[in-house]
Chain A
């Protein structure tokens, strides 16, 4: 045998976008995947039988509007690189759906998991949500799918949480460094989903200095049991690589071996790169580890040259804390229907207000959300959003599973909305129709 053969056919969309940066000295700059590329090339990944490289395509404006309300519109918020990153993810999942490959990994940039439904600007280096745009496009092409998104970036996936907050067909699980110690400061256990999908938004905030042991404990004892009960058609991994011990922005102790084992256990259909800024000492090894794990190849020799086991032994109190945390969250999951009753019984709608800060662009937004609690579907909902830059907009969302009454109500709200808004949007996901006035 002269060529190594992958056990799983793996599709790779490897697009480092060497000609794009947020700005020249930003972490999200041209060379982010340069050393990863060197490692992937030197490892001879492209010659492994069963691993195929694909070029991305450009996502369209409609693909973005299916998920986001860009203020004032899609072209003014995005650069081509955002559309290429989303398009790269779409290609990756499409190859899996067409059974050209068993699994796929989209190594694209910039990341997307902090991008929420309303987009006044960039947050946490993200403008549009790569995974959500990918998934909604695929649902549009291939019909209804029950999907689990597992976000393993070190930062809470608050954008993805917002997008799927009220969607029972998309289970969102985010594992991250505790929001009390890291941007964006959210992602607590109590954030458990909207009235239409209570219990289908699961946050697992881990203490700083969690290592391979704690992280893999969470996968084995919490994530995998929940996935087994949820029985998704597809598992998507939002594959942030900033839990790595060498990452400059975070305080976790995860290793390349840990990442490879995580992917081996989670066994996602598609992984999409999110954050990770240890571009020299972390990413090259983590990415090769993940690629080999997804392809079903021996990853046991992928070890960072500066790794020392004794440096990363997890303190006992962290191990115990994580075990207790998993138990609490699993109990919540088991009791989700009863908890939903407690929260929403007798209500016909639910309202909440929040503030969203766009750190990359320095914009502050105030949102008032209103969810209809509908016995037939997850319910039409609206967002009244005002940014400190002056824009005030109204967004009306008709969910994919909307009943005829909710569809009618959505159009009615859109038609009758008053002129105090600078722009009014309608997202009719039932008919894949997106309006703005």
Chain B
């Protein structure tokens, strides 16, 4: 049996799966003031009557780190940064203490200028004086040669055991993003460790011995020990859970458009030959651009409960939500009211009358009957989605390429099918099918897609292998591998080595 739990901003969804069958589900609101208690309450309820020894793993998607960053409750960080030649980045949005040091490692990973140890000592004294707890050290091109980061960490270790090194988080080249990623990792590490500590204790007390995995934004999981070192990877894993659920419920090997239509927003995802499309570099959170690998997802302010207004003869849907749909006592007409009036969503007589009333108010401004207005609203909603999806696809398909082969024959994403989940999913499926001129499927059990996604997630890891045969050197920064190779090292050998 697998336990999957997805903690969102509003609700926590949890599920027990056995051989692909849903055994039990629980849904509870999230208490933002006590995230751990929220999760624990759901788990306790979920596991009543379940044989705990049969649980093979527990997968959690948690907003603990995300919240600390978004609500600016993260810890101040002592940063040591080696910028080298280039832009004089100040990294002002990293709160805490920043020390810029001399020395430089170039693009081939060669040390051009060594560290000045006096500068490190000074930084350490400053951090102690300012009562800094977590530190991060990032040097330019550390993915190519981490020796400066490693030496500095050693010098800090005794006083600052929670020191993040930039190269351990990603092997991609992007110095500012590496700095922000390392900063965020250090800034949430205390918060995450507290959470993980409470979780372990509670699980032990409840006699649950199953291993716990934490969901990442790339749709994979990591064990608690890895999460301890890389808590930043737990941010924004919610959309990944929904996407995984969708893939689990309707697998495909085609290019596909995946939509999760909620009350306030719609999340848009794409599959290329059945595989999720990823962010090219990493996810952005609260304005910090990071190297945290993530599934590509775009959220737009258009959902079943979005406010509808008529402005100078044109319909505006969203981006705000002002309450439930008019039919259910909300303040403004919404797309859900349109779906009810057009008969796409079933409702009792009283609700239908309210929905009609909402459409009538809007329709009066355009000289339309309630039914005519409902049609117009749904059309507008379909057009908005279609336009957004098309512009995203154009952007994705125009992403820079660097070889003639890719330029002429490279993969372009062209969805052949739509999969949609969310409250209004079933009702809007025919509309989407018509607008996009594609088959549109809406899986059963879509209400718990996110929890199913969390349950189905598997361990993933990303590595970057660079073989420089001229220098006779191979590196995998994420695993701390830096070793000698011969001049005849081939791409085939590199592949084999990477898969090991």
Seen from chain A, the residues whose Cβ lies within 8 Å of a Cβ on chain B are: 1-4, 14-20, 35, 37-39, 41-44, 46-47, 53-56, 58, 80-81, 84, 280, 284-285, 288, 292, 297-298, 300-306
Contacts and interface: CB of A to CB of B under 8 A. Distances in A.
A43 B402 CA distance: 18
Interface in B164-198: 172-177, 180
Interface in B128-187: 140-141, 172-177, 180
B404 A43 contact: no
A305 B106 contact: yes
Nearest to B91: A2
Interface string B379-422: 00000000000000000001011111101100000000000000
Interface stretch (B82-90, B220-228, B256-264, B302-310): B82-90
B24 interface: no
7 contacts: A16-B402, A42-B140, A43-B87, A44-B175, A47-B177, A56-B407, A284-B107
A301 B112 contact: no
B346 interface: no
B287 interface: yes
Nearest to B110: A305
Contacts of B281: 46-47
Contacts of A15: 402, 407
B473 interface: no
A38 B84 CA distance: 14
A27 to B, nearest CB: 15
Given A38-B173, A44-B176, A305 B85 contact: yes
Nearest to A42: B173
Task: Give the dominant DSSP class at A's interface.
Answer: loop
B98 to A, nearest CB: 14
A84 B107 contact: no
Contact of B87 (A4, A19, A303): A4
Contacts of B403: 17-19
Contacts of A35: 107-108
B140 A297 contact: no
Nearest to A38: B107
A406 B256 CA distance: 59
A81 B404 contact: yes
B88 A55 contact: no
A84 B85 CA distance: 32
Contacts of A17: 402-404
Please classify how large the interface on chain B is, using the bins under 10, 10 to 19, 20 to 34, 35 or more.
Answer: 35 or more
Given A3-B289, A38-B107, A38-B173, A304 B85 contact: yes
B85 to A, nearest CB: 5
A280 B398 CA distance: 29
Contacts of A3: 287, 289
A3 B284 CA distance: 12
A301 B402 contact: no
Contacts of B54: none
Contacts of A16: 402
A2 B93 contact: yes
A39 B92 CA distance: 23
Given A38-B107, A42-B175, A305 B404 contact: no
B482 interface: no
Which of B85, B108, B175, B400 has the most chain A CB within a 10 Å cutoff? B85
B106 A19 contact: no
B289 A302 contact: no
A42 B141 CA distance: 7
A47 B85 contact: no
B287 A298 contact: no
A288 B86 contact: yes
B436 interface: no
B140 A55 contact: no
A53 B400 contact: yes
Question: Which 6 pairs from chain A and chain B are nearest by CB?
Answer: A305-B112, A44-B176, A41-B173, A38-B107, A42-B173, A19-B403
A79 B39 CA distance: 61
A301 B87 contact: yes
A297 B87 contact: yes
B235 to A, nearest CB: 16
A55 B141 contact: no
Given A17-B402, A38-B141, A297-B87, 9 more contacts: A3-B287, A3-B289, A15-B402, A41-B173, A42-B107, A42-B175, A43-B87, A46-B174, A306-B112
Contacts of A306: 112
Given A47-B289, A84-B407, A305-B104, A55 B400 contact: yes
Given A2-B288, A280-B108, A302-B85, A80 B404 contact: yes
A54 B107 CA distance: 24
Nearest to B143: A42
B284 to A, nearest CB: 9
B32 interface: no
Contacts of A58: 408
B73 interface: no
Contacts of A47: 174, 176-177, 281, 289
A14 B85 contact: no
Output the residue of B104, B141, B175, B404 with the most chain A CB within 10 A: B404
A187 to B, nearest CB: 32
B113 interface: yes
B173 A303 contact: no
A167 B86 CA distance: 41
A418 to B, nearest CB: 41
A105 to B, nearest CB: 14
B291 to A, nearest CB: 11
A56 B410 CA distance: 13
Interface string B102-133: 00101110001100000000000000000000
A222 B87 CA distance: 31
A92 to B, nearest CB: 13
Nearest to A301: B88
Contact of B404 (A20, A42, A44, A46): A20
B175 A80 contact: no
Contacts of A1: 92-93
Interface in B28-84: 83-84
Contacts of B104: 305
Given A17-B404, A284-B107, A44 B398 contact: no
A17 B85 CA distance: 26
Given A17-B403, A44-B177, A55-B400, A4 B106 contact: no
**Residue among A84, A297, A305 with the highest chain B CB neighbour number at 10 A:** A305
Contacts of A38: 107, 141, 173
B287 A302 contact: no
A291 to B, nearest CB: 10
Contacts of B402: 14-18, 37
Nearest to B401: A55
B314 to A, nearest CB: 27
Nearest to B289: A47
Contacts of B407: 15, 55-56, 84
Nearest to B88: A301
A292 B173 contact: no
A78 to B, nearest CB: 12
Given A16-B402, A53-B400, A55-B407, A301 B85 contact: yes
A17 B401 CA distance: 9
A303 B85 CA distance: 6
Given A14-B400, A17-B403, A41 B84 contact: no
Nearest to A31: B470
Best-surrounded residue of A2, A17, A19 (most CB of chain B within 10 A): A2
Contacts of B92: 1
A65 to B, nearest CB: 21
Contacts of A44: 87, 89, 174-177
Contacts of A37: 402
A41 B143 CA distance: 12
Nearest to B400: A53
Nearest to B288: A2
Nearest to B405: A19
A274 B281 CA distance: 30
A86 B254 CA distance: 35
B84 A305 contact: yes
